[in-house]
Structure 1
Amino acid sequence: MSSKYAVWMAFFLNLSFAIVEFIAGGIFVSSAVLADSVHDLGDDLAIGLSAFLETISNREEDSRYTLGYKRFSLLGALVTAVILMTGSGMVILENVSKIFHPQPVNDEGLLWLGIIAISVNLLASLVIRKGQTKNESILSLHFLEDTLGWLAVILMAIVLRFTDWYILDPLLSLAISFFILSKAIPRFWSTLKIFLDAVPEG
């Protein structure tokens, strides 16, 4: 599967789940799920932009871009990395206060939604995991972020069925956000250097 088709498929998978997540959030009366659906919609806009730019990057060189359009793929990777870093930073800021004031969550609804979410993200990861472009590499990180996030939600939901340790929610969110930042920042810097005509790593 070519890069542009893989990225577009990832886009539609993510958009479909964002809609399902929004509906499920209303059914479960869960503000956390509703908030995450908004977050996923923002991510999906980033993936859509990446898909659009990946499509452009496959064009042949012409009189306007005599060296070709490959830099558009790098631009998509940069934009997606920035959104990942921004989103992780916002999650960190939001959850610091929740450590001191943890809130109850609907563990049963989140458990089933988490199982569906992981299935969708694993499918999207399989679609683009063999991609060679920087854009696909950054999108793989995005789906890793979502998979880890929902795995944490599932583990938390299981624990909360037997305890009231609601502080696990913000703690796990912070751990995942810092992990994603540790991966996204080096990827962003590496892509930026190539975008600025530095010698590619390796």
Structure 2
Amino acid sequence: MNTSNERRLLVVFALTFGYALIQALGGWLSGSLALIADSGHMISDAAALLLALIAYRIARKPADATRTYGFHRIRVLAALANGASLLILVAWIGWEAISRINSPVEVLAGPMLVVAVIGLLVNIIGAWTLWSGNRDDGNLRGALLHVIGDLLGSVAAIAAAIGIMLTGWTILDPLLSILVALLVVKSAWGLVTDSIRVLLQAAPRGLDAAAAEREIAQLPGVLEAGHFHAWTLMDQTCVATVHVTPQPGTDALALPPLVAQWLKDQYAIEHVTVQVDPPGGLIQASH
């Protein structure tokens, strides 16, 4: 099933990236900043699709002696670079839009409309291609959301082109470009912040490390728990380590699987390392 989904993503990536280049060229020729802004939005989505494709390839690539976690963080670095470059693009679009509001320029609404309609058709094909795949696949579901966002952007560009043709209000173009830029900055900022969280090995969202440590200490057979750490390896793959001390009479070997299963059930953490310390060991380790 992953092979089928990978092919679908590859087709949609080619359509999205190819049309983004056409849209940027059309925006430059027609003078439409809105088309250029939406091309930036589509490039961001093409990058997201590319990262999803890389995920499938990386999943098949085994770890080696020097990269024991494999090459998963390459995706994080790519996402960070993608988000940072998009924020720079948004800053330029915002500056240019303000300039055009103060000093309007001519926009060729006809070519703008043609390019926007082509974009709508491309996005409809892409959405249908992904919709007919396995929507239980997180990669595919995320890609579908991106394409739907592009589809809505094309609808907005069509509305602006028609509005300019009917009213002559070229100010609609920079106003729409600001709206599209806001959509871009939202996704770009999310990429940057999520990437930084992963690279800083912050605790996964929704996990309170101190509370989790206290709850582990309440598990049957556990006397003490400490030095709990959890971080995101990539996407939803999380890793955790913790030290525990067994209660008197408790089989120390029974605690690692108990704690690991509890963390998996409570926080969906699949990779857990549990160190069993003798009584007083946690106090000594803290010093």
Q: Secondary structure at the match of 1:69?
A: coil
The answer to whether structure 1 residue 176 and structure 2 residue 180 are counterparts is yes
Question: Which structure has more strand as a fraction of its residues?
Answer: 2
The answer to whether structure 1 residue 16 and structure 2 residue 22 are counterparts is no
CA contact (8 A) 1:78 1:192 kept: yes
- Identify the range of structure 1 (98-107 vs 186-195) with the bigger mean alpha-carbon deviation: 186-195
User: 2: CA distance between counterparts of 1:31 and 1:182?
Assistant: 25
- Of 200, 205, 208 in structure 2, the residue corresponding to residue 201 of structure 1 is 205
Gaps of 5+ in 1: none
In structure 2, the CA distance between the partners of 1:43 and 1:120, relative to structure 1 (3 Å rule), is: same
CA contact (8 A) 2:123 2:150 kept: yes
CA contact (8 A) 2:15 2:126 kept: yes
| Matches for 1:113-124 after TM superposition, within 5 Å | 113-124=115-126
- Of 151, 161, 164 in structure 2, the residue corresponding to residue 160 of structure 1 is 164
Gaps of 5+ in 2: 207-287
In structure 2, the CA distance between the partners of 1:84 and 1:127, relative to structure 1 (3 Å rule), is: farther
The letter of the residue matching 2:58 is: S
The letter of the residue matching 1:168 is: L
Residue 30 of structure 2 is matched in structure 1 by: 30
| Matches for 1:104-143 after TM superposition, within 5 Å | 104-125=106-127, 130=135, 132=138, 137=142, 143=147
CA contact (8 A) 1:30 1:106 kept: yes
In structure 2, the CA distance between the partners of 1:176 and 1:24, relative to structure 1 (3 Å rule), is: closer
Alignment length (residue pairs): 195
Q: Who wins on radius of gyration, i.e. which is larger?
A: 2
The letter of the residue matching 1:64 is: T
Residue 79 of structure 1 is matched in structure 2 by: 81
User: 2: CA distance between counterparts of 1:145 and 1:105?
Assistant: 24
CA contact (8 A) 1:7 1:136 kept: no
CA contact (8 A) 1:88 1:177 kept: yes
Q: Deviations over 1:22-79 (max 9, x none)?
A: 77679xx52438x839x56x93885697467546532121123111222222223222
In structure 2, the CA distance between the partners of 1:54 and 1:9, relative to structure 1 (3 Å rule), is: farther
CA contact (8 A) 1:121 1:147 kept: yes
CA contact (8 A) 1:57 1:72 kept: no
Offset, 1:12:
1.3
User: 1: CA distance between counterparts of 2:25 and 2:16?
Assistant: 14
Q: Secondary structure at the match of 2:167?
A: coil
The letter of the residue matching 1:132 is: G
Could you state the TM-score of these two structures normalised by the residue count of structure 2?
0.54
User: 2: CA distance between counterparts of 1:80 and 1:141?
Assistant: 18
In structure 2, the CA distance between the partners of 1:72 and 1:126, relative to structure 1 (3 Å rule), is: farther
In structure 2, the CA distance between the partners of 1:132 and 1:77, relative to structure 1 (3 Å rule), is: farther
User: 1: CA distance between counterparts of 2:167 and 2:155?
Assistant: 18
Q: Secondary structure at the match of 1:162?
A: helix
User: 2: CA distance between counterparts of 1:162 and 1:113?
Assistant: 18
Offset, 1:142:
5.9
User: 2: CA distance between counterparts of 1:140 and 1:79?
Assistant: 22
Question: Which structure has more helix as a fraction of its residues?
Answer: 1
Q: Secondary structure at the match of 1:165?
A: coil
User: 2: CA distance between counterparts of 1:198 and 1:145?
Assistant: 29
User: 1: CA distance between counterparts of 2:6 and 2:169?
Assistant: 44
